[in-house]
Structures are given as structure tokens and as C-alpha cells.
């Protein structure tokens, strides 16, 4: 669900957004910063592993995109034929199992 449509900020509508923000800002409390001393919650290894996993995933996706772009026409045709064959086989299997 979109709360604000992106097209709403086109043209001169950003003026209204600025006015709305300026009207709301005075009602926010002044002390929105975190209160109290920092808390040590545990090891940072899990966070480092999450970042490393995200980096590895990004590299794998980039590798897949570059590899897919460098395919020849014949490789694309072979892939397309194999996909059509698999879809046809699944459709036959579905029709066969539905008739029994």
C-alpha cells in the first residue's frame, strides 16, 4: 500500500510538502535522541556475517547478470526450447493426473 503517490511531488506540489513539513516540525519534541548510556548487546560477528552475506549475494547476482548477457543466440535458443519442452511435459503430466 502506497501512502503517498510518487507523482504527487511533481510540479509545484513539493511546495505543499515543504509547508506541511514546516507546520509539523514545531510539534516534535526536542529530545528525540537516544536516552541513556550505550548498551553492549553482544558480539558484532553476526552483523559482520550479515554484511558479508549481502556482499556475496550482490556479487553472485552481478556475475549472473553479466554471464546471461554474454550468451550467444544459439545458447538462448537452446534454453528457450528446453523451457518450452519442460512446460509441455508438466502440462501433459497435469492433464494425465487430472484424468485419473
**Residue 4: predicted pLDDT:** 54
**0.75 exceeded by pTM:** no
**Residue 50: predicted pLDDT:** 94
Q: 32, 8, 30: which is closest to 20 by C-alpha?
A: 8
Distance CA 39, CA 36 (A): 9
Distance CA 50, CA 56 (A): 10
The pLDDT tens digits for 24-36 are 887 777 776 666 7
The pLDDT tens digits for 59-83 are 999 999 998 888 899 999 999 999 9
Distance CA 22, CA 14 (A): 12
Higher pLDDT, 2 or 94: 94
Distance CA 30, CA 25 (A): 10
Amino acid at each position: 500500500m502506497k501512502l503517498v503517490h510518487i507523482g504527487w511531488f511533481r510540479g509545484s506540489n513539493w511546495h505543499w510538502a515543504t509547508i506541511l513539513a514546516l507546520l509539523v516540525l514545531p510539534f516534535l519534541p526536542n529530545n528525540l535522541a537516544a536516552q541513556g548510556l550505550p548498551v553492549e548487546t553482544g558480539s558484532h560477528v553476526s552483523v559482520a556475517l550479515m554484511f558479508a552475506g549481502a556482499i556475496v549475494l550482490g556479487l553472485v547476482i552481478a556475475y549472473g547478470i553479466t554471464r546471461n548477457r554474454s550468451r550467444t543466440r544459439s545458447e538462448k535458443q537452446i534454453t528457450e526450447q528446453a523451457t518450452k519442452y519442460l512446460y509441455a511435459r508438466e502440462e501433459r503430466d497435469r492433464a494425465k493426473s487430472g484424468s485419473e
